[in-house]
Structure 1
Amino acid sequence: MKNLILVITSLLGYFLFLSCRSLPKPASPASARINVSKTPNEVSYGYEPVRSHASHPNYKVKGECNGLPRIDVKTAPGFCLGLVDAGEGLIKPRYALQVNDQHILLTDMGGWKKPYNGEVYILVKENKKWSRKPLLNAINTSGPAKCVLDRTQQLVRGPNDEIYLTSAQCIAKVNPFARSNEEKVQVIIPNLPTIGLHASKIITFDQAGNILMNVGSLSDNCELEPTNNCQELTGQIGRGVIRKYLRQADGTYNLNYSIFATGQRNSMALYWDSNGNALWAGENSRDYIERKDSRINGQEKPSDEFNVIHENDELDWPYCYDQGIASPEFAKSDCSRYVHPHLLFPAHSAPLSFLMYTGSLFPKWYQNRLLISFHGYTGYGHRIVTYKRNEQLLPVGDPLSVVYGWDATSLHGDGSPVGLTQGLDGSVFIVEDTNLKVLQLYYNANEGAGSPVAELKLGTVKPVDSQLEAGFKRAEETRKKAFEIKLKNPNPPLFSQIQSRVIDQNCVQCHGGMNYPSIQLLKYDDIGNYKKLKEQLWARLNGDGVPQMPPSGLPEDHKQSLLSLVKQWVDAGTPAP
């Protein structure tokens, strides 16, 4: 039953994350209080976007790539993708980092439904093949170190070539070859905020070894604010910000962080430019803007962003988007006061990793050039791209594809690249979270010159068809009539009552949209929503080991009666409506 509770909680957690409510932080006092009386804005995803085709357990392979099975996708001439790990038993892998010739570390965030479900594996090379073994998990990790299992995320090299591991809750140093499990993990930054739409943590280091950390926004576009000021940006536990933690002489980090910059929704790709003394950040922009202004094609706008950030910069989320266009909710914003993006990425391309390539395996053209994973669920996603560059090495122009043609087929799902890391031989390791794969990007000069391909055409995604939207509304009216009849029964099913009082009033504003690419919760759909929520509703409503949903909680004046209703349903064995 606890699992049931956890699953339902994740869904409501999605939705409630979209409100503006902060979590406690270790070194700073109270959080900002957010009034959530404003009607929420629909967002396009919570945690796990549903792509046009589900993931496929196997890839079609064709020949070899550096001794590995070769994946049959398109690449720039001379490049190939080899299959390192086929993903059996993984849930949602995110990053791989090569430690030495024989070992690779791999993170699996464990999905969003269970607390402390993340895991760290070690891949061992034996007889020219990689095998996976558990390193850190819920069985062998306890005490303060357990925080690394909460939505385990990034692996990155830091000062003195030490390995750093990020999770939703904490940052730690990892020594995979330590004798005891206690010695393998050293938590250096604990108690990070975990509530909200964007709980994942990504870090990079400046030239002094200080940590720059993405602390993503609670909401999609601060949609629950009652005023024209987004309070989640300015609270003691600011969200939608970049934090800076100073490295001290003994190698520890001062937990009294400063705010390096504000006004970024969720920058999951970070790189420190020591020449320009600036942070390069790939920002994942808002969703469903067309629901606030029907004149905007929400498939093409807003663009995701490449931001060049200096200390104390104020970026423009949520007030403006693209190059200084006021957001519909904040139409009177003075966009000239904010720092604008250096470059616009395709809308919803979802840049999730930056890798400044410094190896010698790839053609010389790639030296000191940025590789970027486009994870997005739309046609602009599922690619590894690069760009032309200016004298400051900053990307310019349109994206150029290194790996593409990664669309869903009967043989595999859409490519879903997350972490990019450079291998010791100059190859690049790529982790796919949806298809559960670890891949190696390799180059052979005998097969081509390696020039990236200008194949991505912008402006090709069409807005939602008006006829489809009309059909969606008609279907809702049909469900409504049948549902109202069911509620008139003297003893309507418990979950039908939950649908009416909990889901329709607190969840569908964000999760009920057409073509919603995550857990879609339709209005009046007690039967469909029961199947999706039966194992997680209670835990999400209570924040029982998982992020609470809605993020701001149920309305106080009805909270106890609503929880009593859900508890009655759980105690009855979660019967179907």
Structure 2
Amino acid sequence: MRKLTLCCAYSFLAFTFSTGLSSCNGNKITENKSDTLHKANLKLPPGFSAAIVADSLGALRHLAVTKQGDIYVKLNTLKDGKGIYFLTDTNHDGIIDKRIGFADYPGTGILIKNDELYASSNSGVFKYKLNDKGMVTDTGKPETIVKGLVEKKRDNSKSLAIDDQGNLYVTIGSYNEICREPNSGKGMPGCPLLDSVGGVWQFKTNKTDQSYGDAVHYARGLKNVVGLNWNSNTKSLFVMQHGRGPFDDKFPQYYTPKQSAELPAETMYELHQGADAGWPFVYYDQFKKKKMLSPEYGGDGKKTVEGKYLDPIAAFPAHLAPNDLLFYTGTMFPEKYRNGAFIVFHNQSVPLKKGFLVAFVPFKNGKPSGDWEIFADNFAGIDLSKPKGPIQYRPMGLAQGPDGSLYVSDDLKGSIFRISYSGKK
């Protein structure tokens, strides 16, 4: 397991924001009035500070920031019938004071590439043209780029990445947690689900109405990927996989409840076409630093699998739920963060008593070059070792602003945080 390093100094910031309501051309517009946000105290390394720039937006997922500094954010559940918000700061005081809602579908993925906005539903992908101000030219008439993808309610996020050649990557999670046969601890032979879920599919950005038959099955053996990012330095796709569920429910002879809480690792992979990360046949044990044969396919907690499947390039504690991944390319933050990976962890590790945080992995020459560390903490707002009261915020998505600041969405209160740096570099 890669050692966790907790940053030892923090900065704190509280902030106010407000909402009111008007309408324009059928789209929902919200303008700033005079309410007060709950205090938000993020723990950050020295020189960093955080501000809440928007609040009460709904079940937010991923987000994208325009060249002008405006924000598009996707919603997992429709709010006022809308699945995307365009957010802007009209008076330039650092607080979002207007939002325009559009799109009648929920979902997770959203990104901007070449003055076009891409957004996913739970079964497809849509494209919108942006004008020179970064605004969608026609919110009611997107192009349907991808349609007909499997959507079975569970792990149905369709996260997105685009490379430098116009290829669109779409993740499709498995609705069957461990590919078990119904009411059994036995794995489905060969896991036939892998033909349509549990992997990454590659489409073209300049074609419409694509589905499985038009796609390249780019990578398989990935139970559920919500966080992914194209790395322009390495010319490759990086993903974060959610690890499988418990072992001890069907295999108490091999695994204790404690082992189920500590295994398997959440894993980062660098993908190239044809990659196979091995789910559901193997899992990664971060303590043994080995791929292990899954008990559904004959494993006993001791049998390892050498070769055959892709090795992770980084491993993290179990059940943290990595929900977004971003390679930092800005210049605002100190040099150590340049080209490194920020990861949102949406859940908590009970044994670790940590979670609901943004982590950082330093990179050098396209590979992890040191221990991962907690970058932004205390979204929960409570001590997870002795929890009292409800969780305050739950980080979900990441985006980089044109000035190099880092934006983090929250799906619990519908807030957006902006993290900036003003210390010595």
Q: With structure 1 as the length reference, what TM-score do the two structures score?
A: 0.58
Q: Quick check: 1:218–1:232 contact (8 Å CA) kept in 2?
A: no
Quote the Cα distance in structure 1 between the aligned partners of 2:222 and 2:72: 30
Verify: 1:407 aligned to 2:388, yes or no.
Answer: no
Q: Given that residues 194 and 221 in structure 2 are in contact (C-alpha distance below 8 angstroms), is that contact kept between their aligned partners in structure 1?
A: no
Give 1 or 2: higher strand fraction: 2
Residue of 136, 151, 156 corresponding to 1:199: 156
User: 1:435 corresponds to which residue?
Assistant: 413
- Which runs of 5 or more residues in structure 1 are unaligned? 1-59, 139-148, 450-577
1:124 paired to 2:88? yes
The question of 1:424 aligning with 2:391 is answered no
1:335 corresponds to: 305
Report the equivalent of 1:47. Answer: none
1:354 paired with 2:325, answer yes
SS at match of 1:222: coil
Match of 2:296, SS? helix
The one of 112, 116, 129 aligned to 1:157? 112
1:125-178 deviation per Cα after TM superposition (whole angstroms, max 9, x unaligned): 13323124333154xxxxxxxxxx1x32222122x2422111212111124645
Q: Which residue of 2 aligns with 1:189?
A: 146
Identity rate of aligned residues, in percent?
23
Q: Deviations over 1:515-556 (max 9, x none)?
A: xxxxxxxxxxxxxxxxxxxxxxxxxxxxxxxxxxxxxxxxxx
> Relative to structure 1, is the Cα distance of residues 347 and 156 closer, same or farther in structure 2, using a 3 angstrom cutoff?
same
Say whether 1:134 aligns with 2:100: yes
After superposition, the CA RMSD in angstroms is 2.9
Number of aligned positions between the proteins: 363
**Residue pairs, 1:412-491, within 5 angstroms:** 413-445=391-423
Contact 1:95 1:418 in 2 (8 A): yes
Residues 103 and 140, structure 2, Cα contact 8 Å, conserved in 1: no
What corresponds to 1:507 in structure 2?
none
Unpaired runs of 5+ in structure 2?
A: 1-11, 17-35, 285-289, 383-387
Aligned counterpart, 2:191: 231
Is 1:211 aligned to 2:175, yes or no?
Answer: no
Q: Which has the higher contact order (CA 8 A, sep 6+)?
A: 1
| Match among 269, 283, 286 for residue 321 of structure 1 | 283
Give yes or no for contact 1:374–1:380 (8 Å, CA) kept in 2. no
Classify the secondary structure of the residue corresponding to 2:359.
strand
Q: Is the 8 A contact 1:261 1:310 kept in 2?
A: yes
Structure number with greater Rg is 1
Q: Which amino acid aligns with 1:133?
A: R
For residues 289 and 110 of structure 1, the distance between their equivalents in structure 2, rounded to whole angstroms, comes to 31
Structure 1 residues 253 and 270: CA distance shift in structure 2, 3 A = farther
Check 1:411–1:98 CA distance in 2 against 1; reply closer, same or farther (3 A cut).
farther
CA distance in 1, matches of 2:348, 2:245: 12
User: 1:368 corresponds to which residue?
Assistant: 339
Are residues 118 and 307 of structure 1, via their aligned partners in 2, closer, same or farther at CA, if it must alter by over 3 Å? farther
Amino acid at match of 2:305: C
Aligned residue type for 1:97: A
**How far does the alpha carbon of each residue in 1:434-463 deviate from its partner, in whole angstroms, 9 at most, with x for none?**
2321111111116xx6xxxxxxxxxxxxxx
Aligned residue for 1:293?
A: 251
Residue 224 of structure 2 is matched in structure 1 by 266
Note closer, same or farther for the CA distance 1:125–1:412 as it changes in structure 2 (3 Å cut).
farther
Moved more, 360-369 or 217-226: 217-226
Conserved? CA contact 1:233–1:263, under 8 Å: no
Say which SS state the counterpart of residue 140 (structure 2) adopts.
Answer: helix
Q: Write the distance in 2 (CA, Å) between the matches of 1:335 and 1:439.
A: 42
SS of equivalent residue, structure 1 residue 130: coil
